[in-house]
Amino acid sequence: MDVIWFGLFMTGIIVAAATGRVEAVTEGVLTGAKDGVLVSFGLISVIAFWLGMMKIAEQAGLVQSLAKLLRPLARWLYPSVPSDHPAMGSLIANMSANILGLGNAATPLGLKAMRELQDLNGNRATASAAMCTLLAMNTASLTVIPATMIGLRMEFHSRAPADIVGSTILATVIATAAAIMLDRFFRRRSMGGKART
Amino acid sequence: MNAVATLSAFALPVTLATILVLGIVRRVALYESFVEGAKEGFGTSVNLIPHLIAMMVAVSVFRSSGALGLLMGVLHPWLNRLHFPPELLPLALLRPISGSASLALVTDLFKHAGPDSFLGRAASTMQGSTDTTLYVLTVYFGSVGIRNPRYSVKVGLLSDLVSVIASVWAVTWMFGK
């Protein structure tokens, strides 16, 4: 994080000095800071609205409804987790919350799943196969409504802020499918030596 | 292609209607819950402000100094051969590392190319279709003291690569160049 920030900032300053346009730095700092505030304030409307709707979804039990549908998929994704183990419940709840875009709810559920998987793992410092799958699912993060992006597009006066929903769903489905396949591929390869016997 | 455009138009209204109907049927205090959630949303957005200022300043200096232009000039011939728009490369590189840095880059692209341009749509899709891989890995593994993440870093970053390619492809296919 520090490296990125320092890198962008310093490269900018050095290039500006080298090309004899030092005043560009001052200009960049001022417009950048202003844009940061404007964008954050603009996003309040959409983020507040969306989290309000999501609170209703959460209290209506949408996570639990979706969880029922996802159970078979979860069994296929996590063959090493017994289906009556509490970890399975958390894994499914985490997946449901992610799909609904409930980022705030998904993280605590995911961390709960990690603790329960760590019990199954015998408290080692090396990740188990199920943990790697959980991480693959969470880094790819299947999204249905990219609310923040719709909000940002609105703020820049897009003619159709929501027209990227379709392309986002396509991309997220492809990336999640790829994450699942990659995870399976590397899991098999890592078991190659010992588990085949 | 029409089907995807319809999906875009209907996704949000249908989601909202589903939530409202389900809330009424399951006797949720709709208004109260909404206000409670929206309050959390307010806090979330306010927490974003310092991060976004920090990153927007760095990105803005990087662009106004001409450093971004230089980088694009160097990359252009290489990426053109791969049919990948060079303007999107910084975003593709920062997306897995920092959510606020990549949000700042998307904002910068919206400002200079417009949200409805090819670049604007591709950037929206790249930003929206995946999560910040290294952040998620750190938080999840850190919470239970795992020090050897095995192949998950590889899986996370490779699926980010897939997500970038899929985003550019999906936007080209839906809207043309």
pLDDT of residue B1: 56
| Residue whose token pair is 């990359």 | B75
**Which range of residues forms the domain containing residue B142?**
51-175
Q: Is residue B12 part of a domain?
A: no
Mutate to test the interface with B, among A10, A55, A118 (most CBs of B within 10 A): A55
Per-residue pLDDT tens digits for B100-139: 889 999 999 999 999 999 999 999 999 999 889 988 999 9
Q: Is residue B6 part of a domain?
A: no
**Chain B contacts of A48, Cβ < 8 Å?**
38-39, 41-42, 45
Q: How far apart are CA A25 and CA A7, in angstroms?
A: 14
**Chain A contacts of B147, Cβ < 8 Å?**
125-126
Confirm whether pTM is higher than 0.90: no
Q: Closest to A152 (Cβ–Cβ): which among B61, B107, B147?
A: B107
A window 86-145, beta carbon within 8 A of B = 104, 107, 110-111, 114-115, 117-118, 125-127, 131-132, 134-136, 138-141, 143-145
Distances in Å between the Cα of B80 and the Cα atoms of B49, B106, B170 are 36, 21, 18
One digit per residue, the tens of pLDDT, for chain A of length 197 reads: 678 889 989 999 999 999 988 889 999 999 999 999 988 888 888 888 988 988 898 899 888 888 889 999 999 999 999 988 999 999 999 998 888 877 777 888 999 999 999 999 987 899 999 999 999 999 998 888 888 899 899 999 999 999 999 999 999 999 999 999 999 999 999 876 554 43
**Chain A contacts of B29, Cβ < 8 Å?**
59
CB atoms inside a 10 Å sphere around CB A22: 12
Sign of the alpha-carbon torsion through A38, A41, A44, A47? positive
DSSP-derived 3-state class of residue B148: strand
Q: Is residue B22 part of a domain?
A: no
pLDDT of residue A197: 35
DSSP-derived 3-state class of residue A146: coil
Mean pLDDT check: name the lowest of A160-169, B73-82, B88-97, B107-116.
B73-82
CB contact (8 A) between residue B65 and residue A43:
no
Q: Is residue B26 part of a domain?
A: no
Q: How far apart are CA B142 and CA A127, in angstroms?
A: 11
Q: Is residue B140 part of a domain?
A: yes
Q: What percent of chain B has pLDDT over 90?
A: 57
**Chain B contacts of A12, Cβ < 8 Å?**
58, 61-65, 67
pLDDT of residue A123: 76
The answer to whether A156 and B114 have CB atoms below 8 angstroms apart is: yes
Domain count of the fold of chain B: 1
- Whether the pLDDT of residue B81 is over 90: the answer is no
Kindly state the DSSP code that residue A188 receives in the 8-state scheme: H
Q: Closest to A136 (Cβ–Cβ): which among B22, B28, B155?
A: B155
Whole-number average pLDDT of chain B: 90
